[in-house]
Structure 1
Amino acid sequence: MRKILVFLSNGVEILELAPFIDVFGWNSVIGGKKNLIEVETFSLRESINCTWTLQIKPQIIISNEEEIDIDQYEALVIPGGFGMGGFFVDGKNLKIQNIIKKFIEKKKIVIGICTGAILLGEAGVLKNKKATTYFLDNERYFKQLKNFEALPVKERIVRDENIFTTANPESALEMAFILLKILTDEKNMNLIRLNMGYN
């Protein structure tokens, strides 16, 4: 079975995580066996405190990066979050950075939603790549992209080869549908959109 891997850090914003769980969940019911794609969550912690009080238990808790078999997954998704919730702490962890680098090396799809792009920058994979992130709030995150030697673009969704970055929580749902289209096809993606009420 094909899979996508979703990284969870303390401070994650649930609106940036939920679309991937929901879109691929609906796909598992409506998309048929040939389009079946499982979502697995992973973290360094047994329990994640989201920004807005919700707690999540990841499916996979890693102690080192070798515990993740990159070849099992089609894509890596990094939902963004708030620094006040501790979101950026895990992004500085070498285990997480090495997992990100391995996905890039194997030319897998890597997605940074909103401030999730900052974790890609921390891993060093945005150098000379077009990218976006949350660019309101005095552009402080956008300026970080420049520090990572990325090529900042003030757009909602930016693709540079196999790396996608997005600018805000609103874009997460559209990015989930884009990923579904890439991994299945446009007809199936439109079927899932229609059944979820997005037509």
Structure 2
Amino acid sequence: MRNKAGEFMPNSSPKMPARQVTILVFDGVQPIDFSGPAQALITANEEGASPQYVVNVRAFTGEKIQTASGFSINAEPIDLDLDIDTLIIPGGPGVHDGAQKNSEFRNALHQLCERSKRICSICTGAFLLAQAGMLANRRAVTHWRSCERLSHEFPDVQVESNSLFLKDGKVWTSAGVTAGIDLTLALIQEDHDATLAAKVARRLVVYLRRPGGQNQYSEPLSLQEASGTQYANLLQQMINKPEFSWTVEHMASIAGQSLRSFHRQFKEEVGTTPSKALEKIRTELARTYLHTTNMRMKQIATKAGFDSEDSMRDAIVRQFGLSPKEMRERF
């Protein structure tokens, strides 16, 4: 539900104040950078977030904003004295074409950032935060194509180009495009819990947490809700080292449990057996290599942790109903 100002209004209890989220837009903004995070937050409301989020889109001008995609959007003027829980700065060519060069914009943005409890940039929105002095001596990331430029133009920023998103104090930055949704899911988990974030991820048909950097593989969706359990560390190790000779005994050792307790509790909490969880991780990784590289099948099998091409093929057919060759051709 929206109020007269165009804000998305939650059905919050008077005893539980809503979280005020402001998305700052400008000419040349990239639509997915603000619509993706906004949708994730609204979906969190629909899935029972408490306190809920009030999401509003604002601009310093308060006029129609021309997006990088060629259409315009309406944005209400922003109040620089407003107390904001979360300020989101999207990216787009406008960060270089206009907004970044406007000293009035930079000064107003700095004032707004100082008043906000939490600041987030999406994609190349990091350039605006850097211009406003909010990334000095902080770790940050932006779209992989722009990391070198960010580092060159702002040498006091510690650019970590392989990260999907980063948190340094009250400042969050994300990699390009859909990474803004990854960052927002992390915000939801920080504000609430992993269960709510997983529900939002499922609604949006995305992964709750993608391991690795901007050139990354996908963590199986069915394992995401286990991120808040005692097996989160074990699953992350399995994702990071799929080629390791994982045995149930070694998994139980990492979890600090007896073999019997581990097998029973893992299945109860994760929803599958340890061996099937490992197979899901490996097949998801193999699928990503099939879709994004020209590596030979034998190379993919090795990197994904399978002992042979045949075992990889059998596992992929079990998981996806397609052979590796069919999967590559159809993509």
| Deviates most, 166-175 or 182-191 | 182-191
Equivalent of 1:165 in 155, 163, 173: 173
1:128 to 137, 149, 157: 137
- Provide the rounded CA distance (Å) in 2 between the counterparts of 1:95 and 1:164: 23
Quote how far apart the aligned CAs of 1:39 are.
0.7
Aligned to 2:56: 40
State yes or no: 1:151 paired with 2:162: no
Higher strand share: 1
Q: Distance in 2 between matches of 1:87 and 1:10?
A: 11
Aligned length: 188
Aligned twin of 1:9: 26
Q: Deviations over 1:40-73 (max 9, x none)?
A: 1110231111111121111x214xxxx23442x2
SS of 1:35's equivalent? coil
Distance in 2 (CA, whole Å) between partners of 1:97 and 1:181 is 30
Which residue is equivalent to 1:21? 38
C-alpha separation between the residues in 1 aligned to 2:85 and 2:69?
29
**SS of alignment partner, residue 164 of structure 1:** strand
Separation in 1, partners of 2:165, 2:110: 21
Q: 1:182 matched to which residue of 2?
A: 190
Tell me the amino acid that sits aligned with residue 199 of structure 2.
L
Which residue identity lines up with residue 80 of structure 2 in the other structure? I
Asked whether the 8 Å contact 2:124–2:143 carries over to 1, the reply is yes
Which residue does the alignment assign to 2:259? none
Percent identity over the alignment is: 22
Residues 4 and 95 (structure 1 numbering): CA distance in 2 closer, same or farther, change over 3 Å?
farther
Q: Which residue of structure 1 lines up, in the alignment, with residue 69 of structure 2?
A: 52
CA gap of 1:121–1:138, structure 2 versus 1, over 3 A, is closer
Shift of the 69–181 alpha-carbon distance from structure 1 to 2, 3 Å rule, reads: farther
Task: State the match for 2:271 in structure 1.
Answer: none
CA distance 1:5–1:138, change in 2 (3 Å): closer
CA deviations over 1:120-164 (Å, ceiling 9, x no partner): 111112111111223426932342232xx2112112212211111
Q: Distance between the aligned counterparts of 2:117 and 2:105, measured in 1?
A: 16
SS at match of 2:189: helix
Q: CA deviation at 1:190?
A: 1.5
Superposed CA RMSD: 2.3
Q: Distance in 2 between matches of 1:137 and 1:131?
A: 12
2:314: which partner in 1? none
Shift of 1:111: 0.8
* CA-CA distance at 1:14 after TM superposition: 1.0
Q: What's the CA shift for 1:178? A: 1.2
Return the letter of the residue paired with 1:179. L
Match of 1:80 among 91, 112, 115: 91
Instruction: Name the CA distance, whole Å, in 2 between partners of 1:172 and 1:113.
Output: 5
Question: TM-score scaled to structure 1, two decimals?
Answer: 0.82
Contact 1:78–1:113 (Cα < 8 Å) also in 2:
yes
Cα distance in structure 1, aligned partners of 2:175 and 2:204: 23
- What amino acid is the match of 1:26? T
Deviation at 1:100, TM superposition (A): 4.0
Q: Give TM-score, length-normalised by structure 2.
A: 0.52
What code does the residue aligned with 1:35 have?
P
Q: Which has the higher contact order (CA 8 A, sep 6+)?
A: 1
1:145–1:152 Cα contact (<8 Å) kept: no
Candidates 122, 128, 138, aligned match of 1:119: 128
